[in-house]
Homo-oligomer: A and B are copies of this chain.
Amino acid sequence: MTPEEFRTAGHTLIDWIADHRERIPELPVQAQVAPGEIAAALAPSAPERPQPFPEVLADLERIVVPGITQTQHPGFFGWFPSNASLASVLGDIASSGLGALGITWQSAPALTEVELVVTDWLRAETGLSPAWHGAIHDTASTACLVAMLAARERAGDYGETRGGLQAEPTPLVVYTSPHAHSSVPKAVALAGFGADNLRLVDVDPQTFAMRPDALAAAMADDVAAGRRPAAVVASVGTTGTTSVDPVAEIVAVAARHGAWVHVDAAMAGSAMLLPEHRGLFTGVEDADSLSWNPHKWLGTVLDCSLLYLRDVDHLVRVMSTDPSYLRSAADDELARAGVPQYKDWGIPLGRRFRALKLWFHLRLDGLEAIRGRLRRDLANAAWLAEQVRAAPGWRVMAPVRLQTVCLRHEPTGTVAEDGTVLDGEALDAHTLAWAQAVNASGEAFVTPSLLDGRWMVRVSVGAEATEREDVARLWELLQAICEK
């Protein structure tokens, strides 16, 4: 395809995207297709001859759009805000159009240095000291794995250079909460620690936050049994209930054993931009690593996950390679100029120019507006929680620390006045049924989740398009479906 052909098709596509974004409120939030339906609508093989762009665009419209759960819809209250601000989309388009290759600094100095600068912008805005250094990864799952590998090699004194984890004489143990995201046990498994060496530390029954005393006791038990605490993953804003582990206390306990502390704030990290909410993160400065995703609430289009670390030299020692074909005459100057080789900060060698979408997003939208939107969402969640608390037969299931409201409708006969569950099966069936009815309506989308063994529903407020009236409409819909 020539630049001129691209120009013509590109203009059409830009208009299509603008039109699509405008009509999202009229689309069903949840994709209304059956498994396999889209695959069956696609050609069984790649074409030999070029197909005209209008034909491909028509398929995008006809086949793809109905097959997307519209996370940009004002009625999207599922999983977590997965915003894709149009300012960041422009940055992503620039990245694709440039077609830069990020393997070393030399392959695209700007790719490295814009990333260096924008991750530092967000470091400063989130209140971290200059001791921290960030890089962009695809997701918090990957960031957590990188943190676990860094922790493993610190605890095992760079065993990767010798016999690896299989030659480690002292079993290494990782600690987290049962409310941690599924990516944490996955990272522990993939890093080779083994499920037997993952401790799910007790949480407070009211706040669902990790209990530092329980962590201390678990670590003491392991040490007494000849094992070594290697890492703790603390969550600030768990997926289930947005609960907040007490990072300062956890850091203090971990320090006694030299264990790495990784803070997973994938969704909630955006709240660090709000000084009045920074208390949730007390102690993070003394942790070892922190990840959060601008591709969630902040709204930089997926994928854009930040991993900040203090001891970058250690990470580089764990991750670096130095093949001859990646060396250049400029390498010696890089360290002097304080410029990183990001290939040594994570798993992949090649990287997209993802910093551009963050750069465009922050510059075109500005921090003031972004902070305003976050505050709007927090107020909307607080408002919804108030309505739920005031409504008979409804309950807020967890403290509303941020923009997520965990709730349940408890019909007569399933729950006693004091909150004792009388018929859990019936309650679960009811909860799943109404959540499914909400999602099937196409008007709104919510996520059922287990809490203490029973289903509840998470209302995660924070789609860029969601205003108070959309939250009010959701609340009417929930009542209409549950109380009919």
Contact = CB atoms under 8 A, between A and B. Distances in A.
Q: How many copies does the complex hold?
A: 2
Nearest to A339: B35
A302 B99 contact: yes
Contacts of A364: 1, 9, 50-51, 53, 56
Given A110-B64, A164-B193, A183-B349, A22 B3 contact: yes
Contact of A196 (B31, B167, B196, B338): B167
A163 B197 contact: yes
Interface string A311-342: 00000001101111111011001101111000
Main SS class of interface, A: helix
A60, A185, A318: most-surrounded residue (chain B CB, <10 A): A60
A165 B192 contact: yes
A138 interface: yes
A13 B449 contact: no
Contact of A182 (B163, B186, B326): B326
B194 A165 contact: yes
A114 to B, nearest CB: 7
B349 A436 contact: no
Contacts of A422: none
Contact of A71 (B101, B113, B329, B356): B101
A139 interface: yes
Interface stretch (A90-98, A201-209, A212-220, A391-399): A90-98
A111 to B, nearest CB: 7
Interface stretch (A117-125, A381-389, A407-415, A469-477): A117-125
Given A39-B117, A56-B360, A117-B39, A94 B51 contact: no
A125 B141 CA distance: 33
A72 interface: yes
Interface stretch (A40-48, A256-264, A282-290): A40-48
Nearest to A23: B3
Interface residue range, chain A: 35 or more
A142 interface: yes
13 contacts: A1-B90, A10-B14, A11-B11, A13-B97, A16-B97, A35-B333, A78-B107, A79-B103, A141-B350, A142-B347, A164-B165, A165-B166, A182-B323
Contacts of A22: 3
B21 A6 contact: yes
A43 B125 CA distance: 14
A87 interface: yes
Contacts of A46: 118, 121-122, 125, 362-363, 367
